[in-house]
A and B are shown apart, each in its own frame.
Chain A
Amino acid sequence: MSASEPMFDRLEPLLARVQRPARYIGCEVGAVQPDWSKCEGPDGDRVVRWLLAYPDTYEIGQPNQGLQILFEILNERSDALAERTYAPWVDLEDEMRSAGLPLFSIDTHREASAFNLLAFNLSAELTYTNLLNMVDLAGVPVRSRDRGPEHPLVIAGGHCTYNPEPLADFLDAVVLGDGEEVVGEVTEVVGEWLAAGSRDRTELLRALCGVEGVYVPAAYEVTYDGDGADALVESVEACWETAPMPVPKRTLPDLAEWPYPQSQMVPLTEVVHDRLNVEVFRGCTRGCRFCQAGMITRPVRERPAEQVSAMVREGLARTGYDEVALTSLSSADFSGIAETVEEIVESDTEGRISVSLPSLRVDAFGVDIAAQVQKGRRTGLTFAPEAGTWRMRQVINKLIREEDLYGAVDSAYSQGWRRVKLYFLTGLPTETDEDTLGIARMAENCVTIGKRHMRNPSVTVSVGGFVPKPFTPFQWFGQNTEEELHRKIGLLRDALRRNRNVAFKWHDSRASVVEGMLSRGDRRLGSAIESAWRKGATFQEWSECFSLEMWQEALAEEGLRPEHYAYRHRTEDEVLPWEHLDAGLHKDFLWQDWTDALQEVGLPDCRWTPCYDCGACTGWGVEHVVASAVPPAGGSQGTGQDLDTGGLLPEVVAVPVEVRT
């Protein structure tokens, strides 16, 4: 049987034995159908076949908008086609391995070997072992250097690729930044290589180096200042002429030209974020110093409000969804937010459509918008103050005043919400126990406010251990040790134990250690990743599968340790493993912002205050695309308003908080 023929009949008997088989059938309503007849035409041999892969389960990966956007764009082209694949859960993997079945696409159920590219979306470090596993299941050698011309090219995009170094041995190429345009250029290069009938993989990789935004790890040589566990990167040199230094990221100047996905597919089985998603802007200049997404996706590019409305209207009619999410890193900051929400609410004559804003701003304005869109049962509202004291929030540049939060919470309880959920980070730079315990104090104050409106208000506190990320001001910060994070979580648990209105949740600090190492690691970590994978450490994002022991063994075998990769403070002159990549941010801006952080100096949002030259706009000929020159109503976070009063009102329980209506 030819690899390009569907293989569903061989998969079918296996599906009868596994949990939730619906996640392997595809068949989504509205999904664009990949057209294999393109491969039959006169130029059929140069049609580039992409297998877009998400290294986690279908339920997690299917809603990923980036993957759906590229799926549509590629299938629209006459010289490309794309299908999708997700990590098979362990039960199906076992069945596949014993039946000798390879990784398959879920659109028309073809073997991975029918494709020219295996292109991964990398959104989380803990999925790296799944990537190796899927490459292996595809019948492809996990290390690039062992692959031949018959194997698909293994590439990756997504936020984690801003430091792809731990995966350098496994990835043939990496794409930095927005994918909409670059996938077309990659298609053309691969198509030419196919048409020329070349068997030389290196030739293809050399050509790919010429595509702006593409990084080919094999084209760079990394030297270290020693060979012990604590060796540092000494230099990174381009060893091919075609290899750029540094490698720039891609940035779409205008989102309006890319109204994708145009036909968001509706899954037949349950997935996360199962709703219509419309991206209202990309990029964020709030400047939260812990937030990698906000740093690497600059500048802010808004979608015109009319286009948002049209995409919402058409999307709801086409999909049959009764919920639409306006997505971005901070949707309440969208210039047209009030009008857009109003239009959706007004056009919904039967009152069945709900609108969600995945990142609600912490102020009464945010609550007012939530009230406008959430007409049904008001169960819970989520805010992310991130830190428990004003001092700490100045360090991380999340400039929410206590009064903003308490105003928002008061407004939420007074309008009928019964539960408030608060997200925090612990293990932040300069954090003291007083800062950590500030989280408990804030939660208790929220309960007190809630009791003015109802007998039994509920506050959920969710705490994650902070993991520093590349291309943020905190990239030089030594992460808290596992023991320290564990101790801080214990402090909070003890402090909140007696308050029966507060529910306390926390992330596993052991997983934060592994995430931290992978996030800022260098190429030497690759063998430890491979070793952990060979021990069976897949699905490490899933608490039932996570195994710190496997990672510890793998690291020990390779002579590496978390103290070096995760817990160590970096100095200004250290060569960072990702320094040959360019996220658009000047290194001196990031260093300045880091020193500002240590001095508790906040930095306002540059959309409405003067430019501080982070590099995102100036170096790239793009600018913020914002429809409104004035900051959004309400709220002080980074808008340059009233920052100096932020520390006031610490004892809100004693002060009557103005109820905003």
Chain B
Amino acid sequence: MRVRIRYGVEGKVRFLSHRDVARVMERAIRRAAVPVAYTEGFSPRPKVQYGLALSTGYESDGEYIDIYLDPERQGVRDPREIALALTVCLPAGLEVLAAAEVPRQATSLQDSVESTQWRVLLDVTGGGAMGGLAQQVDELLASESYEIDIIRKGKPVSEDLRPLVHALRVTAPSGGGPAVLEAELGTKPRSIRPSELLGALGVSEPRLVRRTHQWTRRDGDRREPLALGDLSPRAEACAS
């Protein structure tokens, strides 16, 4: 049995690395007495599949893991109960938002997600700076290709940003407060990081970056691997 968990990251815990979150999750699973399956071999690991990594420092409303349960072991199996048990065992800020069983053969999280959606708070001071940013966004959207220089595996490479920017919008603060940049970024053939997009727009230190959604596609429809509040025992949404 494979149970998908959707969780959020908010507050101080946003400074955990992807590896840290994985370790925290595995310990929570053990403390919550979730009968997770283990891998074979000399040093068995809990069978937990992780979705796309979230950069250290970012918040999220849509992170996912798949937990494989061991049919032989006793314990909590109902997705709703797993969600409750995990919530108790996780630190404040890591919150289970939804849980459901998914078919064992369903495509892995990493492969099925095709785009991710972001909400970025920016400290943009003055109308001029705001106008400049809005203009850059327009130029990027109007261009056919938008080459940027990034570092991949320690090497500088040139990458076309344009096809990976599915949507991009910047809104001015109404009555003060930070500007809001919303973006949907493609993950195929490989992901572009929000920091790389922001770099291209000349933003070096956003106030806060939050992943709001991860999207899969089926029959032309955009869906989430698990919808918010979806605690049903079987989520058809991701049975792709």
Taking a contact as CB atoms under 8 Å apart, the answer to whether B42 and A376 are in contact is yes
1/0 contact string of B34-53 vs chain A (CB within 8 Å): 00001000111000000000
8 A Cβ contacts from B189-233 to A: 205, 207
Closest CB-CB distance, B65 to chain A, in whole Å?
A: 16
B43 touches A266 (CB 8 A): no
Which B residues are in CB contact (< 8 Å) with A24? 15
With known contacts A16-B57, A27-B12, A22–B20 Cβ distance under 8 A: yes
- B131 at the A interface (CB under 8 A): no
B15–A22 touching, CB < 8 Å = yes
Contact flag A21-B42 (CB < 8 Å), given A27-B91, A320-B30:
no
A270 beta carbon closer than 8 Å to chain B = yes
| Inter-chain contacts of A20 with B (CB < 8 A) | 17
Indicate if B31 sits at the interface (CB-CB under 8 A).
yes
Contacts A16-B57, A20-B17, A27-B91 known; 9 new A-B pairs at CB < 8 A: A21-B56, A21-B57, A22-B20, A28-B91, A29-B89, A29-B90, A269-B16, A317-B31, A320-B26
User: Chain A residues near B57 (CB, 8 Å)?
Assistant: 15-16, 21
Shortest B40–chain A CB gap in Å is 12
Contacts of B44 in A (CB 8 A): 352, 376
A322 to B43, CA, bound (A): 12
Task: Check A318 for interface membership: any CB of B closer than 8 A.
Answer: yes
Tell me if A320 and B15 are in contact (CB < 8 A). no
List residues of chain A with CB within 8 A of the CB of B92: 27
- B134 within 8 A of partner (CB): no
Question: In the complex, what residue of chain B is closest to A351 when comparing beta carbons?
Answer: B44
The one of A8, A17, A268, A270 that contacts B13, using a Cβ cutoff of 8 Å: A268
Query: Please, what's the 1-or-0 string for A317-332, where 1 marks a CB less than 8 Å from any CB in chain B?
Result: 1111110000000000
- Write out, one digit per residue, whether chain B residues 158-179 have a CB within 8 A of any chain A CB (1) or not (0): 0000000000000000000000
Please give, as numbers and ranges, the residues of chain A lying within 8 Å of B13 by CB-CB distance.
Answer: 25, 27, 268
Task: Report if A226 contacts B (CB, 8 A).
Answer: no
A377 partner, pick from B15, B42, B91, B93, beta carbons under 8 A: B42
Does A470 belong to the interface (CB within 8 Å)? no
A287 contacts partner chain B, Cβ-Cβ < 8 Å: no
Check A319 against B27 for contact (C-beta < 8 Å).
yes
Given the complex, which residues of B lie within 8 Å of A377, measured CB to CB? 42-43
Could you say which of B15, B28, B89, B91 contacts A21, with CB atoms under 8 Å apart?
B15
Indicate whether A478 reaches chain B with its CB closer than 8 angstroms.
Answer: no
Distance in angstroms between the alpha carbons of A317 and B31 in the assembled complex: 6
A27 and B43 form a contact (CB under 8 A): no
> Is residue A152 within 8 Å, beta carbon to beta carbon, of the partner chain?
no
Q: Complex: how many Å from CA A17 to CA B15?
A: 11
CA distance A569 to B27 in the complex (A): 52
Q: B24–A268 contact, CB under 8 A?
A: yes
Per the bound structure, the CA–CA distance linking A17 and B195 in Å amounts to 13
Residue of A nearest to B35 (CB): A350
Alpha-carbon separation in the docked complex, A20 to B19 (Å): 11
- Closest Cβ–Cβ distance, residue A213 to chain B (whole Å): 36
Contact digits for B58-89, partner A, Cβ 8 Å, 1 yes 0 no: 00000000000000010000000000000001
Known: A16-B205, A320-B89. A25 touches B31 (CB 8 A): no
Distance between Cα atoms of A16 and B26 in the complex (Å): 26
Q: Which of B12, B90, B207 contacts A26 (CB 8 A)?
A: B12
**A13: CB under 8 A from chain B?**
yes
Contact code string A257-293 (vs B, CB < 8 Å = 1, else 0): 0000000001011100000000000000000000000
How many angstroms between the C-alpha atoms of A269 and B26 in the bound complex? 13
Contact status B28-A27, CB under 8 Å = no
Residues on the A chain within 8 Å of B73, using CB: 350
* Docked-complex contact B12 and A8, CB < 8 angstroms: yes
B167 CB → nearest A CB, Å: 25
B43 contacts A268, C-beta separation under 8 Å? no
Query: CB-CB < 8 A to A25: which residues of B?
Result: 12-13, 15-16
Asked whether, in the complex, the Cβ of A22 is within 8 Å of the Cβ of B16, the reply is yes
User: Using Cβ atoms and an 8 Å threshold, which residues of chain A touch B42?
Assistant: 376-377
Interface residues of A in 17-38 (CB under 8 A from B): 17, 20-22, 24-29
Q: Is A268 a contact partner of B16 (Cβ separation < 8 A)? A: yes
User: 5 closest pairs, A vs B, by CB?
Assistant: A320-B31, A320-B27, A21-B15, A377-B42, A320-B30
The residue in chain A whose Cβ has the minimal distance to the Cβ of B73 is: A350
Docked complex Cα distance between A20 and B57 (Å): 10
A269: nearest chain-B partner, CB-CB: B20
Contacts of A29 in B (CB 8 A): 24, 27-28, 89-91
CB distance from A376 to the nearest CB of B (A): 5
A26, A270, A322, A376: which contacts B20 (Cβ < 8 A)? A270
Residue of B nearest to A27 (CB): B91
